[in-house]
Structure 1
Amino acid sequence: MRVAFFVNSIESEEPNFSTTALAMAALARGHDVCYIAPGDFVLRPDDSLMVRATTVPAGKYKNAQAFHDAFQGKDATIQTIDVREVDVIFLRNDPSLDSDDRPWAAHIGAMFGRLAGDRGAIVVNDPSGLALAQNKLYFQGFPEAVRPTTLISRSIEEIRAFIADNRKGVIIKPLQGSGGKNVFKIATPDDANLNQIFEAVSGEGYLIAQGYLPEAKAGDIRFFLMNGKPLVRDGVYAAFRRVPAKGEVRSNMHAAGTAEAVKITDDILAVAEMVRPKLIEDGMFLVGLDIVGDKILEINVFTPGGLPEIAAMHKIDFSEDIIEALEKKTAIRNAYAGSMSNRALATL
C-alpha cells in the first residue's frame, strides 16, 4: 500500500506531530510512504492527476527525530507519480495555517482530494465532507445537546448582550482558526478589554462567542474517534486531558497545555455517540473531540493531534490501529472493484 500524507508544508512538520507517528507506523507495517503539499498537484491535459511526492529511503528509523530529519535532509527525493499509483491520501493539513499568507493553499486538499478519489485513491477524511467543515460553523450542525450556548456575529452590541446573558463568562474566538489562536475569556459586558479583543478577533472575520463552562478550568478531553466510533484497544481509549498552563484559558498543546491521563466515563461515551451519525454521514474517518463535561467545545476533523502523547502515557501506539484500518479499506475497495464511494469507504 502506498500512503501519501498531505500536509501544509514538509518544512513545517515536526517530530512530535501525529502525522509523523502515522507515517512511521505505515512504514513499519511495510507500506510505501510519501508526503505531498498544496503545490504538488498537476492536472495534465489528458486528465491524468499527478503528484510530486517526497519520499525517504525505506527502513526502520530509530525514532521520530531521525524520521523527521530524513524528510528534511538530503536523503529526501521528489518524484512525480500518477495519483492512481497511490492507495490512500491522508489529508493532514490545517487550512487555518494557510488562510492568511497562502489563501490559495487552504483548501487544496479538499479540492484535489475529490479528483484523487474519482481516480481510485481512498482519501480521508472524505474531501467533500471536509469542504463542509472549512470553519467552525460546521460545529453548529451537530445536536444542540452537545454544544455550549453559542453566538456567531460581527456585532459588538450582539456580543455584549450575549455576555450579559451568560453570567459565568464567555469565550470569544475567531470563526476560522486553530491551535488556540486569539481565544479570550470575557467575564462581563463591561470588561475594559472587550473593545480591544473585539478589534483583534473581528479582523479575522466572524466571531464565535460561547458560554463559558466552569469545568474547563481543569482542561478539556481530547477524545479520538475512528470510523465514527471511539478509538480503543484493550480497554484503553485514545484520549487524554489537555490541562491549561497556569493563568491560561486555552488548553491547546501549542499554548503550553500539558497532557494527563483521563478516565473515560459513560457520559463522555454518550457525547461521542451523539455526534457519530453526522461524522459517518460526512465521511470523517479520524476525528478529535474536545470535550468539557457533557459538552463538545470543538470537533477537529483536519489535523487532530495527540497520538504521541497517548503513546507515551499508555505504551499503546494507536497510529498502528489507524493504519490497519486503512489497510482494510484498501482491501474492501479492491474487492468491490471501485464501485463503492469514497465517503462510504472513509468510515467503514
Structure 2
Amino acid sequence: MRIAFFVNSIESETPGYTTTALALAAVQRGHSVVYVEPGDFILRPDDGLAVSVAVLPDASYKTPDKLHAALKDAAKQKKTFAISDIDIVFLRNDPSLDVTDRPWAANAGVMFGRLAAERGVIVVNDPDGLGQAQSKLYLQSFPEAVRPATLISRNITEIRAFIDKNSKGCIVKPLQGSGGKNVFHIAKPTDSNLNQIFEAASGAGYLIAQVYIPEAKAGDVRLFLMNGLPLARDGNYAAFRRVPAKGDVRSNIHAAGTARKVKVTDTMLGIAEMVRPKLISDGMFLVGLDIVGDKLLEINVFTPGGLTRLAGMYNTDFATPVIVALEEKRTLRRAYGKTITNSRLATL
C-alpha cells in the first residue's frame, strides 16, 4: 500500500523523529512511502483531489539516517498523484508551529484530510477529530476526574484569583502551543515577575492556568495509545518518563528534559481507560498521554513523539505494530468500502 506522511516541512524532519521511524517500518514491510507538506494539495475544477509528494525510492533502508538522506533527495523533485493512488494519509504535523509564520498552513492537514477521507482514503488521526483538538482546550472535554483544576482566560484578575485559591501554585501556559514554550510555574499571585510572565505567555492568545501537581518535579509520563488502547509489545509498554532539567518546570524533551524508563502503573492504565471512549469516538488512532500523578496534563493527538527513543530504551520496535494496524485498516476498507466511516475505521 502507499502511505503518505503529512508533515510541517520535509526540511525540518530528522532521523530521530517518530515519523521517520514509522516510515522506515512501512518501507521495511514492503510499502510505498511518500511525504506531503501543507502546500502540496491540489483541488481541481472537476473536484478531483491531487497531491504533490516526495516519493521515497524503493530500497532496503537499514537505518533512519539512510531513509532521511533519501527523503531529502526525493524532496528536490516531487511527483503528483491523484488522491485515489494514496491508501493512507497519516497526519503528523504540529499546527502550532505554523500559526505565527504560516497561518495558512496550520489547518491544511485537517482541511484537505477531510477531502481525502470523503474520497475514500483512510486518514489518521481522523481530521474531524483533530479539528476539535487544535488547542489544549481539547483536554477539557474529558472527564473531570482525570484532569487538574483548570482556568482558561485572558483576564489577569481572574488568573490571579485562581492562583490565590491554590496554595500549591499553578502552571500558566498558552492555550495554543507545544514543545514547552512559555510554560511557567507561579507559586503565588504576588510573584514579582507575574506581569512579565503574563505578557510573555499571553502573546499567543488565551492562557491556561492549571493547579500545580507536586509530582511534576519528577517529570511526566508519556504513554502511547493506539486504537484507544495502550501500545505494548514484547511485554513492554510504549511509555517513558520525561524528567525536567534542573530548575525547569518543563519536562518536554525539546526543552532539555531527559527520557527514562518508567513502570506503567494501574493508575496510568486507569486514566487511559477513562479517556478511551472519547478518543475512539473522535477517531484518534495514535496519541500520547502526558500524565503526572493521577492526572492527565495533555493529550498529544497531532505529533506524539518518542517511538525512536523508546526503541533504544526497551530494545523494542514499537513502530512496526503501528504499520501493521494500518494494514488491517486497509483490509477493512477494501472489504466494507465507505460503509464504515473514516472516524470509526481510524480506531478499529
Q: TM-score range by the shorter chain?
A: over 0.9
Q: How far apart are residue 74 of structure 1 and its match? A: 6.1
Helix, strand or coil: the match of 2:39? Answer: helix
Q: How far apart are residue 338 of structure 1 and its match? A: 2.6
The 8 Å contact of residues 220 and 292 in structure 1, kept in 2 or not, is answered as yes
Helix, strand or coil: the match of 1:46? Answer: coil
Alpha-carbon separation, structure 2, partners of 1:259 and 1:333: 37
Superposed CA RMSD = 0.9
Moved >4 Å (runs of 4+):
none
The 8 Å contact of residues 56 and 74 in structure 2, kept in 1 or not, is answered as no
> What do the CA deviations read for 1:61-97 (whole angstroms, capped 9, x no partner)?
2321221111113685411000011000000000000
Matching residue of 1:53: 53
Alpha-carbon separation, structure 2, partners of 1:213 and 1:3: 40
Helix, strand or coil: the match of 2:131? Answer: helix
Helix, strand or coil: the match of 1:338? Answer: helix
Helix, strand or coil: the match of 2:225? Answer: strand
Alpha-carbon separation, structure 1, partners of 2:233 and 2:62: 24
Instruction: Compare 93-102 and 226-235 and name the one that shifted more.
Output: 226-235
Amino acid at match of 1:218: A
Percent identical residues: 67
The 8 Å contact of residues 245 and 251 in structure 1, kept in 2 or not, is answered as yes
Matching residue of 2:99: 99
Q: How far apart are residue 341 of structure 1 and its match? A: 0.6
The 8 Å contact of residues 245 and 257 in structure 2, kept in 1 or not, is answered as yes
Matching residue of 2:10: 10
The 8 Å contact of residues 10 and 75 in structure 2, kept in 1 or not, is answered as no
Q: How far apart are residue 209 of structure 1 and its match? A: 0.3
Instruction: Compare 161-170 and 27-36 and name the one that shifted more.
Output: 161-170
The 8 Å contact of residues 171 and 186 in structure 1, kept in 2 or not, is answered as yes
The 8 Å contact of residues 95 and 106 in structure 2, kept in 1 or not, is answered as yes
Q: How far apart are residue 234 of structure 1 and its match? A: 2.5
Matching residue of 1:121: 121
**Structure 2: where are the runs of 5+ without partners?**
none
The 8 Å contact of residues 55 and 74 in structure 2, kept in 1 or not, is answered as no
Q: How far apart are residue 60 of structure 1 and its match? A: 1.7
> What do the CA deviations read for 1:86-119 (whole angstroms, capped 9, x no partner)?
0000000000000000001001101000100111
**Structure 1: where are the runs of 5+ without partners?**
none
> What do the CA deviations read for 1:274-319 (whole angstroms, capped 9, x no partner)?
0000000100000100000110000000000000111001111111
Alpha-carbon separation, structure 1, partners of 2:341 and 2:77: 33
The 8 Å contact of residues 221 and 241 in structure 2, kept in 1 or not, is answered as yes
Aligned pairs (5 A) from 1:1-348: 1-73=1-73, 77-348=77-348
The 8 Å contact of residues 153 and 207 in structure 1, kept in 2 or not, is answered as yes
Helix, strand or coil: the match of 1:321? Answer: helix
TM-score by length of 1: 0.99
The 8 Å contact of residues 57 and 74 in structure 2, kept in 1 or not, is answered as no
The 8 Å contact of residues 54 and 74 in structure 2, kept in 1 or not, is answered as no
> What do the CA deviations read for 1:171-204 (whole angstroms, capped 9, x no partner)?
0000000010100000110001110010111111
The 8 Å contact of residues 70 and 76 in structure 1, kept in 2 or not, is answered as no
TM-score by length of 2: 0.99
Alpha-carbon separation, structure 1, partners of 2:337 and 2:255: 46
Matched positions, count = 348
Q: How far apart are residue 56 of structure 1 and its match? A: 2.2
Helix, strand or coil: the match of 1:279? Answer: helix
Helix, strand or coil: the match of 1:336? Answer: helix
The 8 Å contact of residues 289 and 296 in structure 1, kept in 2 or not, is answered as yes
Q: How far apart are residue 142 of structure 1 and its match? A: 0.2
Helix, strand or coil: the match of 1:65? Answer: helix
> What do the CA deviations read for 1:316-337 (whole angstroms, capped 9, x no partner)?
1111000000000000000112
The 8 Å contact of residues 57 and 75 in structure 1, kept in 2 or not, is answered as no
Alpha-carbon separation, structure 1, partners of 2:337 and 2:345: 12
Helix, strand or coil: the match of 1:337? Answer: helix
Amino acid at match of 1:271: I
Alpha-carbon separation, structure 1, partners of 2:38 and 2:74: 21
Q: Cα distance 1:153–1:269, how it changes in 2: closer, same or farther (>3 A)?
A: same
